[in-house]
Amino acid sequence: MKGDYQDLVDEISALLGAPATLENRDFRLIAFGAHDSDDDLAMDPVRTRSILTRQSTAAVRSWFEGFGIARATGPVRIPAAPDAGVFRGRICLPVRYRGIVQGYVWLLDQEPGPDAEALDAAMEVAQRIGLLLAEEARAGADLSREFLAVLTAGRGWQQDMAVAALRVALGPSGEGAHAAVCVSPWSGEAPASVPGAAAVCVVPWRGAGEQEPHPGGGGPAGHSLAVLIRLRGTDPLAPALTAISRLMPRAASVAGSGTGAPAATRSAATGGKTTAPAAAAGVTSGVTGGVTAGVSDPVRALTALPAAWQQATAAARAAAAAGPRLGPVAQWSAIGPYRMLASVAEEALDDPVARALRGPANPELARTAEVFLDCAGQAGRAAAALGIHRQTLYYRLSRVEQLTGLDLDEGEDRLLLHMALKAARLHG
């Protein structure tokens, strides 16, 4: 679908002799024409920011909407507004379908500007874009029931029937690679449109009415947003990151926190090695107040979607548990020991080893032990990471041994303690 939008934007650029950009009705960038001018004025800060961050500021949005673009049925000329950062005037082509605005095509205004005939031709292309945007939104919303059934059906014939129904509903778009994305916690209905999504639904975390923590650990019982992402191109994670960049700010605002997502993530395409920052896909760094997202490994069979969903939810939980090291967006292939812990236990493992260290009387011992084990038992690295003297580290480790009855010189005791602490962190 992305390629279709790009082709149509390029067609408008050719008709009007100027680079165009396409944004959805929430002012999120979808596609943009090539800028091959040597004139620095061909770009202004608003357009540059839109392309680099894939979104516009509230001030810019307010200025543009003040000219009635959401109600307009034809081109709208908008003057510059330096106070809002709009240093160049704009021509806006509303993108509509059946009277409802779906997005906007933008061009920098210039003299003498396009003639009426060219603008009419461009508006016809904008109508084709509106149809595509409406179909994409409708497809994701209409498939929520089938997608939810696949994720929640028990094993056996119920799941087989749910997968068959989803396959029929998806049609040709069900072929090829997909990934599951989990954003949690999520409040309210599923969004009407998510870029690159084949289906979207809201999944109760456990069963409706059950009072237990959401995947991030702690907090009230709630729901997660499930997104089925079509994967295309050489970087399979890119479509998922684009979708998450749209979803995380909304989830964070509902949770009462700031917006954002991690500055970096990992990709299955590179064997789990660090790839380009997620910010390149429009995901900005920052604290999300407990909102996390997880991405599964790519799958090619719809029958593998329940397993992919388990991976995505485990990654979301791991992102919350591991803090800055992983989150708030994590891919299944990059969550390390949490993959094993999420697989072996859906419920918290109340191991006495972890219980002995996590009481209010020993606030620093659990962290000391975990950092020491994360550093492969290297005292110098652990002391530096904790910001304490090595002798202080040794004293705390001796207290850990006294409280747990473990011998940290023994490999199996170290393994037990490490997994018990990670499991306790995973389950909040």
What is the residue type of 220? P
Terminal-residue alpha carbon distance, the chain = 40
Percent of the chain clearing pLDDT 70 (strictly above): 72
Q: What is the pLDDT of residue 251?
A: 66
Percent of the chain clearing pLDDT 90 (strictly above): 22
Q: What is the pLDDT of residue 279?
A: 36
Find residue 203's DSSP bridge partners: 224
What tens digit of pLDDT does each residue of 112-158 get? 778 899 999 999 999 999 988 887 766 655 688 889 999 988 778 88
Task: Among 142-156, 272-286, 324-338, 374-388, name the one with the lowest average pLDDT.
Answer: 272-286
pLDDT level of residue 284 (50, 70, 90 thresholds): very low
The residue among 51 and 156 whose pLDDT is bigger is 156
Question: Model pTM?
Answer: 0.54
In CATH terms, the fold of domain 352-426 is Arc Repressor Mutant, subunit A (1.10.10)
Mean pLDDT over 250-268 rounds to: 42
pLDDT level of residue 48 (50, 70, 90 thresholds): low
Residue 329, pLDDT above cutoff 70: yes
Residue 316, pLDDT above cutoff 80: yes
Mean pLDDT over 63-89 rounds to: 86
In CATH terms, the fold of domain 2-135 is Beta-Lactamase (3.30.450)
- Cα–Cα–Cα angle for 17, 19, 22, nearest 5°? 125
pLDDT level of residue 104 (50, 70, 90 thresholds): very high
Mean pLDDT over 103-110 rounds to: 89
What tens digit of pLDDT does each residue of 170-226 get? 877 778 889 999 998 888 788 876 777 888 999 986 533 333 333 433 333 478 999
Q: Write the DSSP assignment of 41-87 as a string of letters.
A: GG--HHHHHHHHHSB--HHHHHHHHTTTTTT-SS-EEE--BGGGTB-
**Long-range Cβ contact pairs of 390-399 (< 8 A, separation 24 or more):** 393/368, 396/364, 396/365, 396/368, 396/369, 397/368, 397/369, 397/372, 399/362, 399/365
Report strand pairing: 329-331 vs 223-230.
Answer: unpaired
Question: Between helices 157-170 and 144-152, what is the axis angle to 10°?
Answer: 150
Side-chain-side CA neighbours of 32 within 13 Å: the count stands at: 21
Chain-wide mean pLDDT for the chain? 76
Find residue 115's DSSP bridge partners: none
- Kindly list the domain boundaries of the chain, sorted by start residue: 2-135, 143-344, 352-426
Residue 372: how many CB atoms within 10 A of its CB? 25
Place of tokens 């997968």: 163
Mean pLDDT over 341-364 rounds to: 67
Distance (Å, whole) CA 255 – CA 185: 8
Residue 265, pLDDT above cutoff 50: no
Q: What is the pLDDT of residue 204?
A: 85
What tens digit of pLDDT does each residue of 238-247 get? 777 777 877 8
